[in-house]
Amino acid sequence: MVVRLALLGVGAVGRGIIHAVAEKNLGLIITAVADSRSGCIDPNGLNLKELLDRKEKIGICGDTSINAEAIVQTAPYDILVEITPTDARKGEPATSYIKEALKRGCHVVTSNKGPVALHYHELFTLALKNNVQFRFEATVAGAIPILQTLMHNLGGNEIQSLYGVLNGTCNYILTRMAEEKLTYKQALDEARTLGYAEADPTYDVKGIDAAIKLVILANTIWKKNVSLDDVDVTGIDLLTEEALRLAEQQDATIRLIGEIIPEDNVYRLCPRIIPKEHPLVVQGSLNAIIVRTDLAGDLLFVGKGAGSLETASAVIGDILSIRDMDAGGN
């Protein structure tokens, strides 16, 4: 059985997914694609090489008379793959697309934090009602399949707490400040030059991005009903070089650590002084997560927290997990 995908978003992640579908034998075809200005549909599967060439040459993937909304509503697909940029405040238009697809009885995979952080319970209920899957592994910790692990592989465990480095940009800045004795501003500039930080880095350095991931974890893993306002957030933008120096003098360093203790409704993100040999002291743009469980004990996961191929990996993992569910496993 071939599974048909409709893809919204043809940025670096989208192109990574298209390459993987074209080059790996995954039992998938792409029947519709939209970028911000155009779209294309072929019920038998689009020619992906032509599509990527067109996108590279003329900047759009298809016909300007076809848009994302039309694709969501009318194209033939089994899974909507929604990978448009995150709008953290309203989650639109992604949330509307996702709802529409779920109502049509199609599965949805997204890398978009907005809809999950803002409307998870509504979207999950809608998916359940329509007997389809709603998955969003790419929204937390990049390439680390932490959501599938906590929701499925460790099923049966009580997840008692979670601690982690959830933002690669901040971790890169802190690593470079410590290693090379850079000032915050110097490290931030370097992160920008290397493409780890956006032109406006506020979202990362003030801790908003990592806090949104805590919201997603809290609401999906522990079925809480929290929003960004419920997270106690301190970013790294006010951190002084002196604080880092003091930590280093004690064979410690500083990392931006997110923390969830569900029993006590603790949702906290702040810079922490931690010993250098602690497993959460990862270098560069890595993410790291420790979970404490009742049966499996403590588990540590480390991997790349961002990047287009890494995000594509998470999206494809979700797609294949739905494909396998539909096929009855094995």
Which residues participate in the annotated binding site?
9-14, 113, 198
Query: Which residues neighbour 297 within 8 Å (Cβ) at sequence distance 6 or greater?
Result: none
How far CA 161 is from CA of 138, 194, 221, 235, 310, in Å, comes to 21, 34, 11, 21, 25
Q: How far is the CB of 242 from a second copy (least distance, A)?
A: 26
- Check if 223 is active-site: no
Task: For a second copy, give the closer residue by CB, 231 or 280.
Answer: 280
Residues contributing to the annotated binding site for NADPH: 113
Helix (H, G, I), strand (E, B) or coil at 92: coil
Q: How far is the CB of 128 from a second copy (least distance, A)?
A: 6
Query: What distance in Å separates the CA atoms of residue 223 and residue 217, rounded to the nearest whole number?
Result: 9
Query: What distance in Å separates the CA atoms of residue 317 and residue 89, rounded to the nearest whole number?
Result: 27
Q: How far is the CB of 233 from a second copy (least distance, A)?
A: 27
| Binding stretches for a second copy (CB under 8 A) | 16, 20, 24, 26, 124, 127-128, 131, 133-134, 137, 143-145, 148-149, 152-157, 277, 279, 293-304, 307, 309-310, 312-314, 316-317, 319-322, 324-325, 328-330
Partners of 107 in beta bridges: 79
Q: Whose structure tokens read 């032509």?
A: 50
Helix (H, G, I), strand (E, B) or coil at 258: strand
Residues contributing to the annotated binding site for L-homoserine: 198
Task: For a second copy, give the closer residue by CB, 70 or 299.
Answer: 299
Query: What distance in Å separates the CA atoms of residue 306 and residue 197, rounded to the nearest whole number?
Result: 11
Residues contributing to the annotated binding site for NADP(+): 9-14
- From the list 206, 213, 224, 276, the catalytic residue is 213
Helix (H) or strand (E) holding 300: strand 298-304
Q: How far is the CB of 302 from a second copy (least distance, A)?
A: 4
For residue 285, give the nearest of 165, 154, 112 by alpha carbon: 165
For residue 16, give the nearest of 315, 312, 318, 310 by alpha carbon: 312
Task: For a second copy, give the closer residue by CB, 60 or 151.
Answer: 151
Q: How far is the CB of 298 from a second copy (least distance, A)?
A: 7
Tokens representing 188 are 């931030």
Query: Which residues neighbour 228 within 8 Å (Cβ) at sequence distance 6 or greater?
Result: 88, 117, 208, 211, 212, 215
Residues noted as catalytic: 213
